[in-house]
Structure 1
Amino acid sequence: MRLKTIVAVLFATAVSLPALAQTASTPRIDQRQANQQQRIDQGAQSGALTEKEAARLDKGQANVQKMEDKAVADGKVTAKERARIEHKQDQQSKRIAQQKHDRQQDRDHDGKKDRPARKQ
């Protein structure tokens, strides 16, 4: 009886250790994704982004997330994969800034929003 318990524990340990070792962690990428999504949401609420702009930026964020998911799928994010993801995040960040400050909501340039903010 005792031998069966020991064998079962050893087997469970042997099976679970590789699974634990394969979890790739990308906290910096995840945090940046969250920050960029927050910037998009804030821009949509304040009216700095139109609905189309916000939807387009959300789609870009989803593409970056897809890249990250693919990189993590094999259990290890290589330096090359990380660099590609970070480059895409840089591009996305630049797009967010451009779209938030393009004054599309203030067409007559009087400092007042011409269109109402996006409803959530």
Structure 2
Amino acid sequence: MYRKAVAFTAVSAILGFAALPALAQSTPRLDQRQENQERRIEQGVQSGQLNAREAARLERKQERIDRSEARAKADGVVTRQERARLHHQENVQSRHIARQKHDRQTGAK
């Protein structure tokens, strides 16, 4: 009976620790923000506020942020410093989207 309890405890501990990286790498706010910014770019193209060149440039920058986030998550933990850097990149991208949508260049409607 004692051996079964020890074995069960050991297996439970191992499985519990295996789940920690999945919890640590969760970044729902960043993921939601990325989706919102991608939607803003798409909406800008549809409304004619962004031309094809502007949209392509913004999408490339968005992909760069995606890669940065993937690198931050690669070790299973997104540190406070990595999270701050990702938020900064998102802030810069948000300003770029707003500027491009409100400049004089337009796309075909």
Q: So what's the TM-score if we normalise by structure 2?
A: 0.84
Could you list the structure 1 runs, at least 4 aligned residues long, displaced by more than 3 angstroms after superposition: 5-16
Please report how far the alpha carbon of residue 116 of structure 1 lies from its aligned counterpart in structure 2 after TM superposition.
Answer: 1.7
Please report how far the alpha carbon of residue 17 of structure 1 lies from its aligned counterpart in structure 2 after TM superposition.
Answer: 2.4
The correspondence of residues 104-115 of structure 1 with structure 2, limited to 5 A, is: 104-105=105-106, 115=107
Name the SS for the 1:25 alignment partner: coil
The gaps in structure 2 that reach 5 residues or longer are: none
How many corresponding residue pairs? 106
The gaps in structure 1 that reach 5 residues or longer are: 106-114
Q: Distance in 2 between matches of 1:62 and 1:7?
A: 48
2:98 corresponds in structure 1 to 97
Q: Distance in 1 between matches of 2:7 and 2:57?
A: 52
2:51 corresponds in structure 1 to 50
Name the SS for the 1:58 alignment partner: helix
1:116 corresponds in structure 2 to 108
Q: Percent of counterpart pairs with the same letter?
A: 48
Rg comparison, structure with higher value = 1
The correspondence of residues 1-120 of structure 1 with structure 2, limited to 5 A, is: 13-23=12-22, 24-105=25-106, 115-117=107-109
Aligned-partner residue type, residue 17 of structure 1 = G
Q: Distance in 2 between matches of 1:50 and 1:77?
A: 35
* Contact 2:51-2:108 within 8 A present in 1 as well: no
Q: So what's the TM-score if we normalise by structure 1?
A: 0.77
Please report how far the alpha carbon of residue 9 of structure 1 lies from its aligned counterpart in structure 2 after TM superposition.
Answer: 6.5
RMSD of Structure 2 on Structure 1 (CA):
2.1
Please report how far the alpha carbon of residue 14 of structure 1 lies from its aligned counterpart in structure 2 after TM superposition.
Answer: 4.8
